[in-house]
Each structure stands twice: as structure tokens, then as C-alpha cells.
């Protein structure tokens, strides 16, 4: 899959997004500096190392330096407030008072992560004096800060460890991955085109909910917008898109030339629609009637939607706005994310078969994806080409965006393993997922979370990343 993924990256350039902005501040109690002259230089050296580690991450780092008292804490708070961060990291190098860091958490209007990383695994007790011990005392104020944050109504998160501890940095990196998700959803422009699939009450989403919850924007576009843009696509552009598709997909014998060409033409128009409205995702559905143009547009979306999804612009059917949000989250977390639902249960092999007809994320495919011609889509009007592949075998994580009675959103996740076995050949993204338990029991518990009909299937066991993202986003997290 490595060569194939490189091909996808070369042929399908990813959408460029604002990188997460991480604010960084280090500190310790200034009272110590005249008492122990060697302490501050040692702590500043540690803070430089931490700053360098963050600079190597795929993020914009705003490092406001080292604070030694409450006045310097106030100045750091103002600088970080102006920086509009997605995550603020407070490095407690030794003991400091909670009054030094509370203003930062209160004024910066961003979630905070407290880290305390002592210089090495342990102290050299026989040779340490008070000054040397204090460099290992970053854990000392963590309970104090946690208490004050709780009393101030500020969510508390921390990572304790030592400076070069791989496991501690892995936990820190989970929070930076979460910052990627927060940044993407804060600034996302989600497109909605068409109407809700008739009768799917779970899919209906209050358009105000995403701006209020995440800060993102919902742009309502029309199928007529797409119709006009598709009408402007030339034969040469259509052929160029067909050539691209032949490079990425294997074409099944069932693909009809006229359906392939129509899907390619719609794909070019979709790209223009996404560019014109600057969309980060698009959810669509249109029923249509008797082969009229809007029905043909809806039926011709799958090729172009899959190519957009591969570029990090989730484009999904059935008007599934909340699932496109989940797909965007899994994509920016580096785990792909394909539109998914339950297909059937296999009680002999104890697996849940899941997938979906239509748009898919090519990064989760275990082999060259297939374009299959379909005379009919299940439950949808029209005909044309659909994407089919077997999901990579190995660990996967499902992530959906559930909604409760009060309208609150929640991330819902479940980790499993895709295992080999027979698959349907019906133009679907298909996988057999083993959750290590009776598949019927898994369905019962999964369905009780408020998950809804669809979700994103992503590569790897990533529940910890998604849990961290839900924390930064201020929504509930539920894991089955």
C-alpha cells in the first residue's frame, strides 16, 4: 500500500488547511533563582528541548518563553490570547504557584495541556542537593493546578514523565493530533447539497449546531450549482479525468463507457464546486425521477466524491453532514476515513460486515480500488459507476458523531480488526471487522450510544486520539 498511497498523494494533491496553532509556555518559581544559581539555566535548557520537539511537529508553535512570577504569567496570557491557539501547552519545569498559570488558562480561550517532564528517569539521591532536586519537582504543582482549574471550571489535562521518555511524548503527540482535529473543525466549511434522504430522521442536523459547537460554517449549495458547472466541462477535461481514474482504479468489465465518461464529467464539476465555495466537506443527496438531469447528477457523484475524499475533502451521500465531520476528523488525524454502515453479521466467524456503496476514502484500501458498473444502486435512483475495495487488514477505529436529545454532539468510537474472508462484490467499500466479542452484542451496544446510521472507518487503533480530540472540542466521548 505504500507505493499506492504515494501514487494517490502525487495524483491527488491534498487540500491545504490551516495548521494547528500550539501555544507554549514554560515556567518555574522565581524565588528559587537567587537561592540556587544553577537551577534556572538547567530548566531553561529543558524548555528549549521541549520547544524544539514541538517545532518538529506539523504545527505552528507560538513559544512565549519562560515565566517566573504572576506578572510574567499575565504577559504570557495576553500574548497567547492574541495568538488564537488551538492548544496551549504549559511546561511546569519545577514548582510554581497556580496563580502564575491560571490567567493563561482563563484568558487565552483555548484548551490547555499541562506537561511536567523531569530531566531523567530518576534522581541521583547520593549526590543531589536541594537545587538539583528542584529540577525534578515539576510534578509537585500538578495537583495544585488541577484543583484550581477544577474550581475555575477549566478542563484539566496533563502528561507527566521525563524529558526524553518516548511514552510521554507519545501521549503529548496524541494531544497535538487532537489539536489538528480541533483546528480543522474550527475553521471548516461544510457543504450541504440537495435534501435529506426521505425518512432518515437520524441524519437530519440543525445547521446552527456545528457553528455553535465547533465554530465551523455550513454552506448550503444547490444541485443546480453543480449542474451549471458540469455543463461547462469540456470533452477534453472529461477525457483527462478518465485518464486519471484509469491510473488510480482498476476498471471492471461492467463499466460502461458512457457511464464512466459521465462520472468523470461530474467529477470535474465537483472539483469546481468545492473550489468555488472553498469547501472542506460536502454531504449530498437528490432523489430525482425518470433519469432527469438532477437524478443523473446524483447518480454520477461517486467517482468524483471518492477522488475528493482521497484529497481530504470528505464527500458523502445521503446528506450525512455529521458523518462528513467525523470523516474530516479521522482524515486530519492521519487515519483516512471511509463512509460506513453495517451490512450484515457473521456469527460463525464472529465478525461485523460493514461498508457502503458510493464514495470511499482510497487510503484505506488494501489493493487497487475497483470501479464497478451498477445498473441500480440500493435504495437510490439512477445508475452508473461505483467504487469497490477491500479495506486494509489490521487494526481499525470507527468514529461517528452522535447526537443526544438535548442536541449535544458526541464522538463515538470503537476499535476492531479487519480480518480476511469472503466479501460482497456489489460496488461497495467492504470489510469484515472483528471486535473480539459476539457481533450481535456489539451492534446492540454500538446502537445505544446515539451513533446514527453512518460513521467513518479509519485505519489503526486511534480511540485515544479521538478521545483527546473530543476533550479539546468540548464534547462527550463514548467508546464501545
CB 350 within 8 A of CB 438: yes
Question: For residue 67, how many C-alpha atoms fall within 13 Å in the half-sphere facing its CB?
Answer: 29
Question: For residue 245, how many C-alpha atoms fall within 13 Å in the half-sphere facing its CB?
Answer: 32
pLDDT bin (cut points 50, 70, 90) of residue 376 is: low
| CATH code 3.20.14 region(s) in the chain | 187-479
Cell matching residue 59: 504545527
Average pLDDT of the segment spanning 59-69: 94
SS (H, E, C) the chain: CHHHHHHHHHHCCCCCCCCCEEEEEEECCCCHHHHCCCHHHHHHHHHHHHHHHHHCCCCEEEEEEEECCHHHHHHHHHHHHHHCCCEEEEEECCCCCHHHHHHHHHHCCCCEEEEEEECCCCCCHHHCCHHHHHCCCCCCCHHHHHHHHHHCCCCCCEEEEECCCHHHHHHHHHHHHHHHHHHHHHCCEEEEEECCCCCCCCCCCCCCHHHHHCCCEEEEECHHHHHHHHHCCCHHHHHHHHHHHHHHCEECCCCCHHHHHHHHHHHHHHHHHHHHHCCCEEEEECCCCCCCHHHHHHHCCHHHHHHHHHCCCCEECCCCHHHHHHHHHHHHCCCCCEEEEEEEEECCCCEEEEEEECCCCHHHECCCCEEEEECCECCECCCEEEEEEEECCEEEEEEEEEECCCCCEEEEEEEEEECCCCCCCCCEEEEEEECCCCHHHHHHHHHCCCCCCCEEEEECCCHHHHHHHHHHHCCEEEEC
User: pLDDT at position 201, please?
Assistant: 76
Predicted confidence (pLDDT) per residue in 14-51, tens digit = 888 889 999 999 999 999 999 999 999 999 999 999 99
Average pLDDT of the segment spanning 326-338: 92
Is the CATH code 3.20.14 the one for domain 187-479? yes
| CATH code 3.40.50.10940 region(s) in the chain | 21-185
DSSP β-bridge partners for residue 285:
194
pLDDT bin (cut points 50, 70, 90) of residue 377 is: low
Predicted confidence (pLDDT) per residue in 160-185, tens digit = 999 999 999 999 999 999 999 999 99
What span, in angstroms and rounded, lies between the C-alpha atoms of 363 and 307? 11
pLDDT bin (cut points 50, 70, 90) of residue 7 is: low
pTM (predicted TM-score): 0.90
Average pLDDT of the segment spanning 251-260: 87
Range picked from 212-216, 283-287, 363-367 for highest mean pLDDT: 212-216
Among the listed residues 353, 359, 318, the one whose alpha carbon sits nearest the alpha carbon of residue 337:
359
Decide which of 3.40.50.10940, 3.40.309.10, 3.30.2130.10, 3.90.550.10 is the CATH code for 21-185.
3.40.50.10940
Whole-number percent of the chain with pLDDT over 70: 94
- How far, in Å, are 64, 175, 219, 338 from residue 163 at the CA level? 20, 17, 45, 37
pLDDT bin (cut points 50, 70, 90) of residue 427 is: low
Round the average pLDDT of the chain to a whole number and report it. Answer: 89
Amino acid at each position: 500500500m505504500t507505493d499506492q498511497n504515494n501514487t494517490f498523494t502525487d495524483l491527488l494533491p491534498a487540500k491545504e488547511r490551516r495548521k494547528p496553532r500550539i501555544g507554549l509556555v514554560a515556567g518555574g518559581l522565581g524565588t528559587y533563582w537567587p537561592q540556587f544559581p544553577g537551577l534556572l539555566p538547567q530548566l531553561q535548557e529543558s524548555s528549549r528541548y521541549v520547544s524544539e520537539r514541538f517545532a518538529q511537529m506539523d504545527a505552528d508553535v507560538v513559544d512565549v518563553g519562560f515565566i517566573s512570577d504572576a506578572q510574567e504569567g499575565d504577559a504570557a496570557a495576553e500574548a497567547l490570547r492574541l495568538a488564537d491557539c488551538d492548544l496551549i501547552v504549559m511546561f511546569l519545569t519545577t514548582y510554581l504557584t497556580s496563580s502564575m498559570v491560571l490567567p493563561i488558562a482563563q484568558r487565552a480561550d483555548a484548551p490547555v495541556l499541562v506537561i511536567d517532564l523531569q530531566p531523567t528517569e530518576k534522581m541521583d539521591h547520593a549526590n543531589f542537593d536541594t537545587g538539583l532536586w528542584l529540577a525534578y519537582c515539576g510534578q509537585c504543582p500538578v495537583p495544585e493546578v488541577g484543583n484550581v482549574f477544577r474550581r475555575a471550571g477549566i478542563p484539566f489535562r496533563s502528561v507527566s514523565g521525563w524529558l526524553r521518555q518516548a511514552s510521554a511524548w507519545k501521549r503529548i503527540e496524541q494531544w497535538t493530533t487532537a489539536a489538528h482535529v480541533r483546528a480543522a473543525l474550527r475553521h471548516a466549511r461544510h457543504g450541504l447539497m440537495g435534501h435529506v434522504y426521505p425518512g432518515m430522521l437520524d441524519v437530519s442536523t440543525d445547521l446552527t449546531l456545528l457553528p455553535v459547537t465547533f465554530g465551523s460554517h455550513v454552506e448550503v449549495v444547490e444541485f443546480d450549482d453543480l449542474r451549471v458547472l458540469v455543463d461547462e466541462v469540456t470533452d477534453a477535461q472529461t477525457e483527462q479525468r478518465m485518464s486519471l481514474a484509469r491510473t488510480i482504479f482498476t476498471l471492471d468489465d461492467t463499466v460502461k463507457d458512457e457511464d464512466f465518461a459521465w462520472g468523470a464529467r461530474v467529477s470535474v464539476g465537483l472539483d469546481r464546486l468545492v473550489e468555488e465555495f472553498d469547501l472542506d466537506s460536502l454531504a449530498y443527496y437528490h432523489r430525482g425521477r425518470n433519469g432527469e438531469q438532477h437524478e443523473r447528477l446524483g447518480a454520477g457523484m461517486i467517482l468524483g466524491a471518492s477522488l475528493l475524499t482521497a484529497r481530504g475533502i470528505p464527500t458523502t451521500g445521503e446528506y450525512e453532514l455529521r458523518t462528513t465531520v467525523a470523516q474530516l476528523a479521522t482524515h486530519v488525524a492521519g487515519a483516512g476515513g471511509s463512509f460506513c454502515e453495517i451490512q450484515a453479521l457473521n456469527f460463525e466467524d464472529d465478525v461485523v460486515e460493514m461498508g457502503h456503496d458510493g464514495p470511499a476514502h482510497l487510503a484505506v484500501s488494501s489493493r487497487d480500488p475497483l470501479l464497478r458498473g451498477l445498473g441500480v444502486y440500493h435504495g437510490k435512483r439512477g445508475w452508473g459507476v461505483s467504487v469497490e475495495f477491500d479495506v486494509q487488514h489490521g487494526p481499525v477505529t470507527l468514529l461517528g458523531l452522535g447526537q443526544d436529545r438535548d442536541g449535544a454532539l458526541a464522538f463515538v468510537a470503537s476499535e476492531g480488526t479487519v480480518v480476511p474472508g469472503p466479501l460482497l462484490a456489489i460496488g461497495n467499500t467492504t470489510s469484515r471487522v472483528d471486535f473480539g466479542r459476539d457481533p450481535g452484542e456489539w451492534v446492540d451496544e454500538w446502537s445505544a450510544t446515539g451513533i446514527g446510521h453512518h460513521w467513518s472507518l479509519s485505519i489503526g487503533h486511534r480511540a485515544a486520539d479521538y478521545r483527546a480530540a473530543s476533550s479539546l472540542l468540548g464534547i462527550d466521548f463514548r467508546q464501545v
